[in-house]
Structures are given as C-alpha cells and as structure tokens.
C-alpha cells in the first residue's frame, strides 16, 4: 500500500496558509505532489535512481547535547495557543497536535498545557509536600522521602474540563488540535495517595474528602472525594513517560486523578488536607461549573464522560485523491475502558464498528481505526464511543436536550468532520 495521500494540517491556521505538504518526507526530498503520485510504482523516481548523501556519506556521531530532539522535518508538529482563548502569559492554554500523533501516548514535549498563573521550574530539593487535617500524624515529605516509597506506573488520559468548550457555541474552530487538543495521555509514576494517607493515620471514617493544594500563585485547590482515593488510583506523581514530570506539567509533583477533569490534577502539589466535607473552592463554585437550562449550576461534575474524535481525516487536512484511507482517532472514558467505537462516513445514517488498537486500558486513550474507500463525494465522518458501563457518547442534540446551550465545560458530543469534494476537511456541527 502506498502512503496515504493525506496532507498535513496547516502549519498554523492563523497565518492563513494552507497545508501544502504531502508529508514531511516528500517535502524534504523536494518531490512535487503530482509527480510523487504518478510514480507510485517507483518507475523513474529520482529518489530511487539517485543515491542520496545519507547512503554514500558519513553520518553524524552520537548526539552530544545529551537529550534527543525530533527530526528537523517535524518542526510543524507543535503545541499551539489558540487566539480565541485567554492570552495573558499567566493564564494560558496550549493545545496538543492530536492530528500528528500516533498510538495513545502524548510525547511529553507536546502535552497540552493549562496554567492559571504561569508555570514554574521548582527546585525539587526545596519542594515540600504536607499532609494534614483529619490525620493522626501530620507529615511533611521531601521529594527524596517520597521517591523511596513503592511506586506504581500507569497510563492515563488527562482532559481539561473546558476541552471542546468553544463548540458549545458552534464556533467550529478549524482543526482537531483546537477542538480536542486539551487532551493528552502519559504513563505516570508515583505513590498512591492512599499509601501516604495511611502513613499519616488518616481518619477514613470521618474523612470523606481531601483538599489538594498547589504551590504556585494560582491558589489552585480542588476537593477530591475519598472514595476515589480509596480505589488506589489517585497518585502523587513525579514521573511522566519514564522521566520526571516536565515543569509545565507540574514538576516535581502533581496529583493524578484518573478519569477526572484536568483541574483536579493539581500541579506543583504541596498539600493534602483531609476533611469531612467538600471545600467549595473557587475552582469548584465559580469555575468548572455548568449552567443548566433551568438557570442552576451543576457543580463537582468531575468525571470526564465517554468521548471520541476522529483525528485522521480531521479539520484542516486535505484528501488529495479518492481511494483508501485508514480513518482513525482516539476514544476515552473517565469511567473505565472504552468498549466499542462506531464510525459513520455518512453523517450518522450508517455506523460500522471500528477496530480498537491494544492495549485498551482503563481511563486511558484508546486508538481506533476503520477502513474507508472515499468515492470523492462529500462525506461527513463521525465517531461514537461506548464505554464499559454501557454509556454511549451523545449527539449534540442529545447533549443539548439535557445540558442546554450555555455551558463552557464538559462537552463530550460526537464531532463531525465534513470532507468536501475537493478533499478539504471542515469542522461542521450537525443538529
Ligand atoms: N498548580 C496548578 N495546577 C493545575 C493548574 C494550574 O494552573 N496550576 N491547572 C489545572 C488545569 S485547569 C488543568 S486542565 C491541568 C492541566 O495540566 P497540564 O498543564 O499538565 O496539561 O492542570 C491543572 N492543575
Ligand atoms: Mo482545565
């Protein structure tokens, strides 16, 4: 099979440029797109006939800068801020380039960022983590003390509650990076919070909640129910994808709260307080609440419901030709494993069950794919995920029937991409 004739998403939709690259490899070799297509059988291809320098010359020695970087040909794969959102340096978002990623793990340097008050590169030797409140022995841990304890490593997604938020207003931002890019997935390493609470003699009878507090100036604090912590899944984490957390992602310590919206994953974690009731902090009473149709606020809607999105083809990409495509994307659920993903290429009339790429892990991204032969006619591609609880990802009509139209957060509706006759892929909303 020849490589899919799929152009990459525009380098940056802001400067109005279109993605004219067929792919990084073709671009680097200076191959014109039609020529590359005509020579699909290799006949007369100068890239086969003329030996390149890398086949005849000497390569470079081992990297001496000590830490590897991506190929220079992949320079357009970047996390990017959105012009439509908060743009002060201190309260900012960058979105992960989902359209350019494979599998389920987000490379650490492309993990999305959400900072309420800027990020810090904290000196781990001076960082302290305290547990107090309803405990027998309040304790302060250094990083060394934490890292001596038995740790676990687990793959989990993190999604900001505001991911896909602009679509509530049918703003239809152009690419999947901006519709769904406040989503990432890593292998996190850390100590289960339950272990640390036990070390402090936490009162598990009266202590129904904990408050997690950050060490940055955002005063970021969130209530976590003890029931989640008891499952052993909540981690006081220092590792991300085999190395220490990146500064942007909370170095040297962050809370990992699998399945729960990103704001509860407190970065620069400095304190856990055990209490007997929810704390009602600003992040749970003013922000991250949902305005319901009856005018009341829905609070503490922590769990990210089952959701999916097709990343190829997706907004901003261009299909160059009719023919075979491997339609693929990501599915996830804050309630457990993804059980099934259905894909439609006709705007939801017919659905086919997609393949799930292994491993399929709980509260983790799952990659799905399905074969599609595009006939060159306009097509609307959609994915609909079902999780192991039987919950089915809703359409916009179904979601709005319950939630109304005035939300910002917690939009898990089915995403539609329109493939136009000229191959351009656009973000559309079907009512
Ligand atoms: N200390 C601190 N923790 C924080 C935040 C923050 O601004 N400061 N942002 C929260 C929000 S709203 C989200 S969505 C996630 C984002 O994590 P990331 O930047 O690692 O992607 O961190 C959460 N934890
Ligand atoms: Mo967030």
**pLDDT per position as a tens digit, 333-350:** 999 999 999 999 999 999
Query: Is residue 191 in some structural domain?
Result: yes
Which of 75-84, 242-251, 411-420 is predicted with the least confidence, judged by mean pLDDT?
Answer: 75-84
Q: How many CB atoms lie within 10 A of CB 288?
A: 24
pLDDT at 413: 97
Task: Return the ligand number nearest the Cα of 262.
Answer: 1
Clarify whether residues 130 and 274 are in a common domain. Answer: yes
Q: Is the pLDDT of residue 231 over 80?
A: yes
Q: Is the pLDDT of residue 24 over 50?
A: no
Mean pLDDT of 176-186: 97
Clarify whether residues 139 and 268 are in a common domain. Answer: yes
CB of 427 within 6 A of ligand 1: the answer is: no
CB of 425 within 6 A of ligand 1: the answer is: no
Q: Is the pLDDT of residue 62 over 90?
A: no
Mean pLDDT of 210-216: 97
Q: Which two tokens stand for residue 279?
A: 């704390």
- Predicted confidence band of residue 41 (pLDDT cuts 50, 70, 90): low
CA angle in degrees (0–180, nearest 5) for 222-164-306: 75
- Predicted confidence band of residue 33 (pLDDT cuts 50, 70, 90): very low
pLDDT at 39: 52
Query: Is residue 250 in some structural domain?
Result: yes
Clarify whether residues 293 and 312 are in a common domain. Answer: no
Q: Which two tokens stand for residue 112?
A: 């999305």
Question: What total number of domains does the chain contain?
Answer: 2
Mean pLDDT of 319-346: 98
Contact by Cβ (8 Å): 251, 367: no
Q: Report strand pairing: 92-94 vs 323-332.
A: unpaired
**Is pLDDT larger for residue 223 or for residue 287?**
223
pLDDT at 4: 42
Domain that holds residue 157: 113-166+184-298
Q: Is the pLDDT of residue 2 over 60?
A: no
DSSP string across 366-407? EEEEEEEEE-SS-EEEEEEEEETT--BPPPHHHHHHHH-S--
Q: Is the pLDDT of residue 35 over 80?
A: no
Which residue among 181, 259, 265, 272 has the greatest number of ligand 1 atoms within 8 angstroms of its CB, and so is best to mutate?
A: 265
Query: Is residue 202 in some structural domain?
Result: yes
Clarify whether residues 415 and 343 are in a common domain. Answer: yes
CB of 156 within 6 A of ligand 1: the answer is: no
pLDDT at 328: 98
CA dist., res. 13 & res. 332, Å (int): 27
CATH for 384: 2.60.40.650
Contact by Cβ (8 Å): 24, 77: no
Residues 389-414 pLDDT 10s? 999 999 999 999 999 988 889 999 99
* DSSP tag of 168: G
Contact by Cβ (8 Å): 144, 127: no
Mean pLDDT of 109-114: 97
| Buried b or exposed e, range 297-307, using 16+ CB within 10 angstroms | eeeebbbbbbb
Mean pLDDT of 160-165: 95
Which of 248-252, 340-344, 357-361, 401-405 is predicted with the least confidence, judged by mean pLDDT?
Answer: 401-405
Mean pLDDT of 68-78: 96
**Is pLDDT larger for residue 62 or for residue 347?**
347
Query: Is residue 251 in some structural domain?
Result: yes
Q: How many CB atoms lie within 10 A of CB 58?
A: 7
In percent, the amount of the chain with pLDDT more than 90 equals 77
pLDDT at 10: 44
Domain final residue, candidates 298, 316, 342: 298
Which residue among 97, 111, 115, 159 has the greatest number of ligand 1 atoms within 8 angstroms of its CB, and so is best to mutate?
A: 115
> Ligand 1 mean position to 266 CA, how many Å?
6
- Predicted confidence band of residue 299 (pLDDT cuts 50, 70, 90): confident
**pTM score, two decimals?**
0.91
**Summary mean pLDDT of the chain:** 90
CA dist., res. 429 & res. 403, Å (int): 17
In percent, the amount of the chain with pLDDT more than 70 equals 89
Residue with tokens 């599998």: 103
CB of 220 within 6 A of ligand 1: the answer is: yes
Mean pLDDT of 102-124: 97
Domain final residue, candidates 276, 298, 320: 298
| Buried b or exposed e, range 66-98, using 16+ CB within 10 angstroms | eeeeeeeeeebbbbbebeebeeeeeebbbbbbb
Q: Is the pLDDT of residue 305 over 90?
A: yes
Residues 370-392 pLDDT 10s? 999 999 999 999 999 999 999 99
CA dist., res. 216 & res. 149, Å (int): 25
Clarify whether residues 290 and 319 are in a common domain. Answer: no
CB of 268 within 6 A of ligand 1: the answer is: yes
CA 407 to the chain's CA centroid: 20
Query: Is residue 40 in some structural domain?
Result: no
Q: Is the pLDDT of residue 34 over 70?
A: no
Clarify whether residues 126 and 253 are in a common domain. Answer: yes
3-state SS, residue 307? strand
Mean pLDDT of 96-120: 97
- Predicted confidence band of residue 208 (pLDDT cuts 50, 70, 90): very high
CATH for 258: 3.90.420.10
Query: Is residue 339 in some structural domain?
Result: yes
CA dist., res. 135 & res. 50, Å (int): 72
């Amino acid at each position: 099979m020849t490589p899919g004739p799929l152009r990459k998403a525009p380098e940056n939709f802001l400067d109005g440029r279109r993605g004219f690259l067929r792919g990084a490899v073709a671009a680097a070799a200076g191959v014109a797109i039609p020529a590359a297509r005509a020579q699909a059988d290799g006949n007369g291809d100068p890239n086969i006939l003329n030996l390149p320098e890398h086949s005849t010359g000497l390569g470079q020695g081992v990297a001496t800068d000590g830490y590897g970087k991506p190929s220079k040909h992949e320079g357009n794969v970047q996390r990017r801020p959105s012009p439509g959102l908060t743009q002060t340096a201190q309260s900012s978002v960058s979105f992960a380039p989902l359209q350019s990623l494979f599998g389920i793990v987000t490379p650490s340097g492309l993990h999305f960022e959400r900072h309420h008050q800027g990020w810090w590169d904290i000196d781990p030797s001076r960082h302290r983590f305290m547990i107090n409140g309803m405990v027998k022995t309040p304790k302060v841990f250094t990083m060394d003390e934490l890292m001596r304890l038995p740790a676990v490593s687990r793959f989990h997604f993190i999604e900001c509650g505001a991911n896909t938020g602009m679509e509530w207003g049918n703003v239809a931002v152009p690419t999947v990076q901006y519709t769904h890019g406040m989503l990432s997935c890593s292998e996190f390493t850390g100590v289960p919070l339950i272990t640390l609470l036990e070390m402090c003699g936490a009162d598990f009878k009266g202590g129904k909640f904990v408050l997690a507090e950050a060490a940055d100036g955002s005063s970021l604090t969130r209530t976590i129910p003890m029931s989640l912590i008891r499952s052993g899944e909540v981690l006081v984490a220092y590792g991300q994808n085999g190395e220490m957390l990146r500064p942007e992602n909370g170095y040297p310590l962050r809370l990992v709260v699998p399945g729960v919206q990103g704001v509860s994953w407190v970065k620069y974690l400095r304190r856990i307080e055990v209490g007997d009731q929810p704390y009602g902090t600003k992040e749970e009473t003013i922000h991250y609440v949902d305005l319901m149709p009856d005018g009341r606020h829905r609070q503490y809607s922590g769990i990210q419901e089952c959701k999916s999105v097709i990343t190829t083809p997706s907004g901003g990409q261009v299909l160059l030709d009719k023919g075979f495509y491997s339609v693929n994307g990501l599915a996830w659920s804050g309630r457990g494993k993804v059980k099934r993903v259905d894909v439609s290429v006709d705007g939801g009339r017919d659905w086919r069950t997609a393949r799930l790429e292994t491993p399929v892990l709980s509260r983790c991204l799952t990659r799905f794919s399905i074969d599609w032969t595009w006939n060159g006619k306009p097509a609307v591609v959609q994915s609909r995920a079902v999780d192991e609880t039987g919950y089915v990802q809703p359409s916009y009509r179904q979601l709005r029937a319950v939630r109304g139209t005035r939300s910002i957060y917690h939009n898990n509706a089915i995403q539609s991409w329109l493939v136009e006759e000229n191959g351009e892929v656009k973000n559309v909303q079907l009512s």
